[in-house]
Structure 1
Amino acid sequence: METITIVLALMFAVVVSGVASRLLPLPIPRPLVQIVLGAFIGLVADWRVTLDPEIFFLLFLPPLLFLDGWRIPREELFRDGKTVIELALGLVVFTVLGMGLFIHWMIPAMPLAVAFALAAVLSPTDPIAVSAIAQRVPIPSRMMHILEGESLLNDASGLVCLRFAIAAALTGTFSPRDAVLDFLWVALGGIAVGTGLTWGVGKVKNWISRRLGEDSGSQILISLLIPFGAYLVAERLHCSGILAAVAAGLTMGFVEGAGQAQALTRIRRATFWDVIQFAANGIIFVLLGEQLPLILARASETVQLTGHHAPWWLAVYVVAINLGLAAIRFLWVWLSLRLTRFMSRDQRASPGWRITAAMSFAGVRGAITLAGVFTLPLAMPDGAAFPARDLAVFLAMGVIITSLLAASIGLPWLLNGLTMPAEPSHQAEEDAARVVAAQAAIAAVERVQHDLAEGRSDVDLYFAAAARIMDGYRQRIETRQGNIEANAAERRSERIERDLRLAALKAERTAIFRMVRKRKLGSELARKLIRELDLLEARYAG
């Protein structure tokens, strides 16, 4: 009973955080509000959630990484693939090596393998936290695509490095040759499992839907089970469950490209996954805050591991680690952007210091870092406590909070008025796609019209209905194939029409709710009408 109460309290805290972050006058990111609420719960209710590392990893990481892979714009990811790989792989290895040695030098009491493990969990970035920070100062789209791609891949690479660091800490040995071979098996095996399982499930699901019809609830549940299935199968084969979840998400994007799912299923599934993402990320940060009072209470004991007695030394270490991470990221971003420009022989002006600094500030640590640090084992194989685990957890939490605070102050300032290199316009591509779709629609209407009207006495009704529909599509083709000035005028007209339609839909909805309150309309029929209006509003508002 108490466990259920705690879960409900955490979910309620996530809801409250969404309201509180919008009410606050300052642009305080939602993750910070969730941490504060979690700390409040931990202090007032005196609840302590004991987190099993394996369960924590399984519950939160597969769905979040799967969704990131599913929704990431693949074309933008491939376009900036070199930069993304340099940040997601090269920067991770550079961070693990550099920060691992730096942390061990700064805190000799922390074993080198544990220092590398801490550096590994600190290497992934969290684009969701960045988006929350930049809500009032939007991040340029190309920069956000690079950050999303980096986060998608560095989650996997950082956590794979964590796996090897933990193994070295538990066994006391490390072989570069064995590590390379294990890495290839872990990485390639995880990718193969995620890709193969998702492709197979997609084929079976589509085959059943074609023959037996589609059930939206089952389709949504299958999409939820895929990342967990990929993760568990990969871990059973001693591959990377993280890479399996990422590969499953990327493959899901290709599988769904066939477009066999019903429109209603896609709408419901998108809403369902939005809730999963919001709740999972929120609960992770609330759990961080909930654990914070207990960790701070043990600060006096934790600092003794470092050879000091004053707790403020822990704050010094947190600041030093943040500065080290910032310096490494700034240097790597600076080199990466120039290397990519040199290899592509781009003669345009090199990115300014503000772009480099903004990319560096955007390296905020968040949910993945917290999830990773909680996976550090509680004990060694001989039953002894895992060395410096409490210190590693404290430092990771300190880095998360400090990076959020630093980015919430520095990133909006850097992004204010910042312009990225000009993006190519996709308007011509959109116009061409709309024309092709309209031509296909006209051909389908003509074909179905003749099939339905054949042998009927009311043929004129079918021809009249088809004519009205085809006239609308022909108008779309004419406007999209016109000159640039005509297209611009047509789009202004469309915006005006959209605003008028939204006002009309709002008035319709208000009238229906008024009829329900006056008991002039039944609730079931009202729900049907309101849903139709909501779908139309989503179409025009989108």
Structure 2
Amino acid sequence: MPLIELSLLLLLAIAVGGALVHWTPLPLPILLVVLGVVASFLPGLDGIEVDPELFLLLFIPPILFADAWTLPRRDFVRALKPVLLLALGLVVLTVLAVGYLMHWLIPAMPLAVAFTLGAIVSPTDAVATVATTQLLPLPARIVHIVNAESLLNDASGLVAFKLALAAAATGLFSSTTVAGDFVHLAGGGILVGVSVEWFGRELRQRLIRLHAGDPVLQTLLTVLIPYGAYLAAEALQVSGILAVVAAGLWASGQEAKGLSADARQHAREVWRMLSYVLNGVVFVLLGLQLRRMLTGVDHFAPLDLALYALALWLLLMVLRIAWVWTSAHLRFRLHWGWGGDASGPDPRRLLLVSWAAVRGSITLATALSIPTVIASGTPFPERDLVVFLAAATIILTLALNGLPLPWLIRKLALNSDDQPAHEEHAARAAIARAALAKVAVASRELDDPEDRAFAEQLLARYQGKLELLEGDPGHAQLRATHIALRRQLRLAAIGAERQRLHELHAADAINDETLRIIEEELDERELVSMISVDRG
């Protein structure tokens, strides 16, 4: 199928999935995979093949950059020790355990190929993890640990994959090269990512100083950062994935500095759309390719394939649960990076961290990147089976891990942390005091009665915000009611303006351009008026 038609069909599938998800109990990633499988029965869609290099380049950099960008750096640093234990220790354990078990279970699969499979399925995936947890009321620390782990373990998983792949293709393996390769790939990727992001931010700041701060231009340059980091890292033969993650983490909390309000709002909306669309494309493509993956292993009995897939999923879960619980208790006993309760690890939180182990796009792209032939010119041993088991792991983790998460959270009665809400509350009160002090000082220098009246009105507005945030609950509730009523009046007035505007347009009293200009202003005023009462 031509690329343009395929792209339009992918976007249509994402739109259909986004609409249907409100009427089904399925999370959006699983629903999109199902839609992809259904679409694969349409003429021209049964043989879709995706170039893994192109897949990685087009989709993964912006998605990982956006996920790393939104990960709070302070909380990431606080959770670094448990994250490193998961992203490094668990990956190594998984590669070894999966390799030996699958080689024992499937003797026709060489041990080096089994290690390759272990490296492919070892990393949890940031794309799938965020997509299945972002709307769930998980505690903030659990969200930070799971998301940070899925961002960092791509580096260790890909290093293990390259080493295992080299061993499977050449028959040569040297354990002494592991540490050197890891330092080269990971360390080089971090340096490249930070350098590219710094250069891009400096370029945008220079353009702003030269009065070229157009929001569209600034957003475009931001979108180019992850692609630049990935391509630069790959050109230098270091980890492009980790370069993108490092660029996103370095940009977190700094990208908005120096930008205008229009540029920040524009960037947020563009990145929101990009993340939604690209995440959706990943899962629809997975569904489109499942039928083709099954044809490559049709010489195996269906029951055997199901047994292999379930055994692999079960092993991954046993390893993860054991590692999470053991490492948490050791950190608590040794007082090493422990950030939980003083009484010890909470079994409910450990269960959630253990269960949030979804695989996704990185696993798929890595599996598809396995060469069809090895150095000797012979076919890669059991390549189709490895690709099938990787795809089956994605499906099983989405279904058996992602799908029960809402039920599991309700069953454990573990609500989200209130620390972010407290921080936001305190921050709003602090900035309101700063505004009060500034306006109070400036108002003393005003001579015009109208200007002083406006300053007093502004002071009263900020004082009202403080009453809502820190005042007596009864008075705060009464003021919130008054604010809600005033908001309804403003919205009613804006609605009347919009209705009259469209009447003028229908009567040809104004043209389309005038309609768009005025309606954009009305939309902005409506959005401001619809800010929730608790935000003043």
TM-score by length of 2: 0.88
Which residue is 2:108 aligned to? Answer: 109
Amino acid at match of 2:431: A
Q: Report the alpha carbon displacement of residue 269 of structure 1 after superposing the two structures with TM.
A: 0.9
Distance 1:366 1:347, change over 3 A: closer
Which residue is 1:404 aligned to? Answer: 398
Query: Which of 321, 326, 329 is the matching residue for 1:338?
Result: 329
Which residue is 1:472 aligned to? Answer: 461
Q: Report the alpha carbon displacement of residue 247 of structure 1 after superposing the two structures with TM.
A: 0.3
In 2, Cα distance between the equivalents of 1:373 and 1:534? 49
After superposition, give the CA deviation of every residue in 1:302-339 in whole Å (9 maximum; x if it has no partner): x2xxxxxx222111100000000010011011112212
Aligned: 1:530 with 2:502: no
Distance 1:195 1:424, change over 3 A: same
Are 1:195 and 1:248, in contact at CA under 8 Å, matched by a contact in 2? yes
Q: Report the alpha carbon displacement of residue 487 of structure 1 after superposing the two structures with TM.
A: 5.0
User: 3-state DSSP class of the match of 2:412?
Assistant: coil
Distance 1:13 1:423, change over 3 A: closer
Are 1:88 and 1:150, in contact at CA under 8 Å, matched by a contact in 2? yes
Are 2:296 and 2:385, in contact at CA under 8 Å, matched by a contact in 1? no
Which residue is 2:308 aligned to? Answer: 317
Distance 1:426 1:518, change over 3 A: closer
Q: Report the alpha carbon displacement of residue 12 of structure 1 after superposing the two structures with TM.
A: 0.8
User: 3-state DSSP class of the match of 2:98?
Assistant: helix
Which residue is 1:242 aligned to? Answer: 241
Are 2:48 and 2:289, in contact at CA under 8 Å, matched by a contact in 1? yes
396-405 or 123-132, larger mean C-alpha shift? 123-132
Distance 1:98 1:69, change over 3 A: same
User: 3-state DSSP class of the match of 1:415?
Assistant: helix
Are 2:119 and 2:160, in contact at CA under 8 Å, matched by a contact in 1? yes
Query: Which of 315, 319, 341 is the matching residue for 1:328?
Result: 319
Amino acid at match of 2:85: E
Distance 1:491 1:161, change over 3 A: farther
User: 3-state DSSP class of the match of 1:174?
Assistant: coil
Aligned: 1:371 with 2:369: no
Which residue is 1:33 aligned to? Answer: 31
In 2, Cα distance between the equivalents of 1:13 and 1:439? 49
Query: % of aligned pairs identical?
Result: 38
Which residue is 1:94 aligned to? Answer: 93
User: 3-state DSSP class of the match of 1:299?
Assistant: coil
Which residue is 1:207 aligned to? Answer: 206
Q: Report the alpha carbon displacement of residue 228 of structure 1 after superposing the two structures with TM.
A: 0.7
User: 3-state DSSP class of the match of 1:518?
Assistant: helix
Q: Report the alpha carbon displacement of residue 475 of structure 1 after superposing the two structures with TM.
A: 4.5
After superposition, give the CA deviation of every residue in 1:70-124 in whole Å (9 maximum; x if it has no partner): 1012222222222222222221121122112222222222232322222122122
Q: Report the alpha carbon displacement of residue 472 of structure 1 after superposing the two structures with TM.
A: 2.7
1:72-471 → structure 2 map (5 Å cutoff): 72-126=71-125, 129-130=128-129, 133=132, 138-256=137-255, 259-301=257-299, 303=300, 310-344=301-335, 348-408=342-402, 410-420=404-414, 423=417, 425=419, 429-430=423-424, 432-442=426-436, 444-445=438-439, 459-471=448-460
Amino acid at match of 2:317: A
In 2, Cα distance between the equivalents of 1:498 and 1:282? 39
Which residue is 1:307 aligned to? Answer: none
Aligned: 1:4 with 2:4: yes
Which residue is 1:306 aligned to? Answer: none
Are 2:356 and 2:401, in contact at CA under 8 Å, matched by a contact in 1? yes
User: 3-state DSSP class of the match of 1:212?
Assistant: coil
Aligned: 1:16 with 2:16: yes
Q: Report the alpha carbon displacement of residue 150 of structure 1 after superposing the two structures with TM.
A: 1.4
Distance 1:491 1:89, change over 3 A: farther
Distance 1:446 1:233, change over 3 A: same
In 2, Cα distance between the equivalents of 1:77 and 1:274? 22
Are 2:192 and 2:233, in contact at CA under 8 Å, matched by a contact in 1? yes
After superposition, give the CA deviation of every residue in 1:374-416 in whole Å (9 maximum; x if it has no partner): 2222333454433322111111111111122212554333211
Report the number of matched residues: 523
Which residue is 2:492 aligned to? Answer: 507
Q: Report the alpha carbon displacement of residue 286 of structure 1 after superposing the two structures with TM.
A: 0.7
Q: Report the alpha carbon displacement of residue 488 of structure 1 after superposing the two structures with TM.
A: 4.0
Amino acid at match of 2:496: A
Distance 1:244 1:129, change over 3 A: closer
Q: Report the alpha carbon displacement of residue 9 of structure 1 after superposing the two structures with TM.
A: 0.3
Amino acid at match of 2:80: G
Are 2:348 and 2:414, in contact at CA under 8 Å, matched by a contact in 1? no
Where do 5+ consecutive residues of structure 2 fail to align?
none
Are 1:82 and 1:340, in contact at CA under 8 Å, matched by a contact in 2? no
Amino acid at match of 2:140: S
After superposition, give the CA deviation of every residue in 1:233-279 in whole Å (9 maximum; x if it has no partner): 1111111111100000011114326x211112111111111111111
Q: Report the alpha carbon displacement of residue 494 of structure 1 after superposing the two structures with TM.
A: 6.2
Amino acid at match of 1:395: L
In 1, Cα distance between the equivalents of 2:135 and 2:215? 36
Q: Report the alpha carbon displacement of residue 363 of structure 1 after superposing the two structures with TM.
A: 0.8
In 1, Cα distance between the equivalents of 2:390 and 2:476? 50
Distance 1:370 1:501, change over 3 A: farther
In 1, Cα distance between the equivalents of 2:135 and 2:148? 22
Are 1:186 and 1:239, in contact at CA under 8 Å, matched by a contact in 2? yes
In 2, Cα distance between the equivalents of 1:172 and 1:502? 71
In 1, Cα distance between the equivalents of 2:364 and 2:488? 45
Are 1:191 and 1:243, in contact at CA under 8 Å, matched by a contact in 2? yes
Are 2:69 and 2:252, in contact at CA under 8 Å, matched by a contact in 1? yes
In 2, Cα distance between the equivalents of 1:350 and 1:375? 43
In 2, Cα distance between the equivalents of 1:347 and 1:35? 39
Are 1:66 and 1:227, in contact at CA under 8 Å, matched by a contact in 2? yes
In 2, Cα distance between the equivalents of 1:383 and 1:120? 24
Are 1:140 and 1:419, in contact at CA under 8 Å, matched by a contact in 2? no
TM-score by length of 1: 0.87
515-524 or 367-376, larger mean C-alpha shift? 515-524
Q: Report the alpha carbon displacement of residue 474 of structure 1 after superposing the two structures with TM.
A: 4.2
In 2, Cα distance between the equivalents of 1:123 and 1:231? 22
After superposition, give the CA deviation of every residue in 1:332-362 in whole Å (9 maximum; x if it has no partner): 1111221222233877444454433332221
352-361 or 414-423, larger mean C-alpha shift? 414-423
Distance 1:411 1:268, change over 3 A: same
User: 3-state DSSP class of the match of 2:532?
Assistant: helix
Q: Report the alpha carbon displacement of residue 447 of structure 1 after superposing the two structures with TM.
A: 7.0
User: 3-state DSSP class of the match of 1:84?
Assistant: helix
